[in-house]
Amino acid sequence: MTSTISINDSQRLQLSPLEVPNRLLLGPGPSNAHPAVLQAMNTTPLGHLDPSFLALMDEIQSLLRYVWQTENPHTIAVSGTGTAAMEATLANTVEPGDVVLIGVAGYFGNRLVDMAGRYGGDVRTITKPWGQVFSLDEIKTALETHKPAIFALVHAETSTGARQPLEGVGELCRKHGTLLLLDTVTSLGGVPIFLDEWGVDLAYSCSQKGLGCSPGASPFTMSPRAMEKVQKRETKVANWYLDMLLLGKYWGSDRTYHHTAPINLYYGLREALRLVAEEGLASCWQRHQKNVEYLWEQLESIGLKMHVAKEYRLPTLTTVCIPDGVDGKAVARQLLLEHNIEVGGGLGELAGKVWRVGLMGFNSRPESVDRLVEALKEVLSK
């Protein structure tokens, strides 16, 4: 006779409906979602092959092309977090023995190195101190030296708050027959991006930062040059779930079943993208820049310094130097528990040295800055 595990009466009484704290999420992500996005995600699901849902997928593709400023036909949302979209770029284009050159100036450059190696790439790196960026001359020398099949850069390094300039990089890559891969996880929706103008071949992002949606529906795009490399592979893509030749049949005209999409997350992504389009992309970028400059001014007014040089700072994420003698973790914990405000700590080389303050999507507003700075003043005074 088979027995079952039961819940006792005291446990049953503790199972109340879900309640979570109402936090202001000013860390490196997720950010708070716009009420319209939350409402969209609370809508009745459709089947993943329902004609109405397929039409919504088409809208997502069109809107993603807009926010990325690309005409790439293969522009989709990966059913997974931004890390899944990151892995998709490498899983599809890296074949064993391919030279993959990666610019490492923070935590997520290192993650690209790890992933590329797992797919058999001959991984080479160029490095900069965390918080600095690569010059065009440094990139030119590295491309001439290594002659890579793929060159990967992080546009917005989430661990440092630095923005990598891209002007001229794509042209150099094309001279060497190299595909340019770009991490836009912390830049999409809040930082000017021009994928086609810059000559970017592969890019990925996430849904929970500048777009202000829930994590789990992550933008991915691939140029015709990159798709040609995938189609000429001598081996199958090693990751079945992220194989873009298969996913393309679901997102494209074939509409072939591949997996059950996270329906309600796609509802939220579509609505978040609609809000960006409604505001206007240029206006959205300007709002993020204006509000982050206000943040920098207010933080400096209470004696705090930024880690990254001003010309390379992100409008979406700022690394704030923790003053000498201050317990950064204790401050972050007090902000969370006493003021319902989340900020992030440093990663890797910056652990214990900085707070990471995100001002992304719906949260990029002056009132977010005011609330944070007032809370910081109170906590630091103690």
Token pair belonging to 74: 């293969």
- What gap in Å lies between CA 247 and CA 261, rounded to an integer? 11
- From residue 162, alpha-carbon distances to 130, 135, 177, 333 in Å are 9, 13, 27, 25
- Under 8 Å CB-to-CB from 366, ≥6 apart: which residues? 291, 294
Answer yes or no: are the C-beta atoms of 308 and 319 closer than 8 Å. yes
- What gap in Å lies between CA 143 and CA 150, rounded to an integer? 10
- What gap in Å lies between CA 253 and CA 30, rounded to an integer? 33
- What gap in Å lies between CA 245 and CA 261, rounded to an integer? 17
Q: How far is CA 209 from the centre of its chain?
A: 6
Judging by DSSP bridges, how do beta strands 24-25 and 99-104 pair with one another? Answer: unpaired
Count each helix (H run) and each strand (E run) in the chain, helices first.
14, 14
Q: Which helix or strand (DSSP H or E) is residue 99 part of?
A: strand 99-104
Token pair belonging to 179: 């595909």
Residue among 184, 190, 194 nearest 212 (CA): 190
Work out the end-to-end distance of the chain between its first and last CA atoms, rounded to an integer number of angstroms.
62
DSSP 75: E
- Ligand-binding annotation for 356, yes or no, is yes
Answer yes or no: are the C-beta atoms of 131 and 154 closer than 8 Å. no
Residue among 188, 113, 177 nearest 150 (CA): 177
- Binding positions: 356
Binding positions for substrate: 356
